[in-house]
A and B are shown apart, each in its own frame.
Chain A
Amino acid sequence: MNDTRENMILPGKVDLPFSYSAGKTASRFFLGLRDHKKILGKRCPGCQKIIVPAQLFCKECFVETDEWIEVGPEGILLTFTVVYRAGKHQPISTPLAYGIIRLDGADTSIIHLLGETDVSKLRAGMRVRAVFSERRKGHILDIQCFRPV
């Protein structure tokens, strides 16, 4: 009962590799990033809203979206959060910031990394611009981050 040794802590690990088919709409969205450095949305024929990232269906109107529209690459930072706790699931080292960005021409917002700035300089309402990665592979991180304009 008087054992003062530290409690034994055992490590555990589970690696889960997976992949999913992006489908025709998201594929074209990612190809837009990879091949043209363009951010694409789709217009809903019901409510006329431009949905970004492009979606096959409008979740408000339950109708298939039709027209492809380029948005951004600039937009407004609606809100953000700063992450201090490091983790392997984070794409970059901490402190890092995630923001919700309303791209110019879009009616919905996307969540992405904020970068090329000090996190203390971030303000809701500021203008930001997409920074594309040098090596793009058809992935949301083909946009490296959004930086303040």
Chain B
Amino acid sequence: MNRNLQQEELLRIATQMNLEFRFPAGIHYERFFRELKETGRIMGVRCPECKRVLVPPRPVCGECFVRTGEWVEVGPEGTVIAYTSIYFPFIDGSTGKPRSIPYGAGLIQLDGSFSAINHILEEGDPGKLHIGMRVKAVLKEEREGNIGDILYFKTIEPEE
């Protein structure tokens, strides 16, 4: 053994970068969040050409390249079209920190919507999650006008 290596203390330098930023919601997200906050409704927009309802709402239909028009309410129930159980969390943009694990997340196609949104699922057990399961949005009591106003999607027990 190299005696020098044994004697010298080796340091580990720890540091933390906290990146805070702000971004404009834009016309469509702004209305989406305002509706969510003030009325608790989840809103999409319909493409006048292909008639698809896009959620979250956006100014242009990605298929038809035309401006979207009519605002329509969707959900609050929907169907899980993809899911995952998360054990290695990504950073939650509202807190800057990872969520506690494990938790379920999925793509939820809200009733009346063509597109799906990515959100937290009440159910996190991979043995109980399945494609096609019915879920319902659970909203915060005191809503602030951001995506966290939808707390998660709870499982709706199938009717006997």
Say whether A and B bind each other: yes
Q: Does B99 contact A (CB under 8 A)?
A: no
Chain A residues near B15: list those with CB within 8 A. Answer: 17-19
Q: Which residues of A contact B (CB under 8 A)?
A: 7-24, 26-28, 30-31, 88-89, 138-139
**Mostly helix, strand, loop or mixed at chain B's interface?**
mixed
Chain B residues near A30: list those with CB within 8 A. Answer: 11, 13
> Which of A14, A23, A88, A89 has the most chain B CB atoms inside 10 A of its CB?
A14
Q: Which residues of B contact A (CB under 8 A)?
A: 5, 8-25, 29-30, 33-34, 91, 93-97, 145-146
**A28–B1 CA distance with the chains assembled, in angstroms:** 19
**A8–B24 CA distance with the chains assembled, in angstroms:** 6
Contact between A13 and B19, CB atoms less than 8 A apart: yes
List 7 A-B residue pairs with CB atoms under 8 Å apart, sorted by A's residue number: A13-B93, A14-B19, A16-B16, A19-B13, A21-B11, A22-B12, A23-B10
Which of B13, B22, B91 is the one whose CB lies under 8 Å from A22? B13
Chain A residues near B24: list those with CB within 8 A. Answer: 7-10
- Residue in chain A with minimal CB distance to B15: A18
Contact between A17 and B14, CB atoms less than 8 A apart: yes
> Which of B21, B33, B145 has the most chain A CB atoms inside 10 A of its CB?
B21
Q: Kindly provide the distance from the CB of A64 to the nearest chain B CB, expressed in whole angstroms.
A: 14
**A21–B11 CA distance with the chains assembled, in angstroms:** 6
Which of B11, B16, B21 is the one whose CB lies under 8 Å from A26? B11
Chain B residues near A138: list those with CB within 8 A. Answer: 11, 13
Contact between A8 and B30, CB atoms less than 8 A apart: yes
Chain B residues near A16: list those with CB within 8 A. Answer: 16-19
Contact between B9 and A31, CB atoms less than 8 A apart: yes
Contact between A12 and B93, CB atoms less than 8 A apart: yes
**A27–B18 CA distance with the chains assembled, in angstroms:** 25
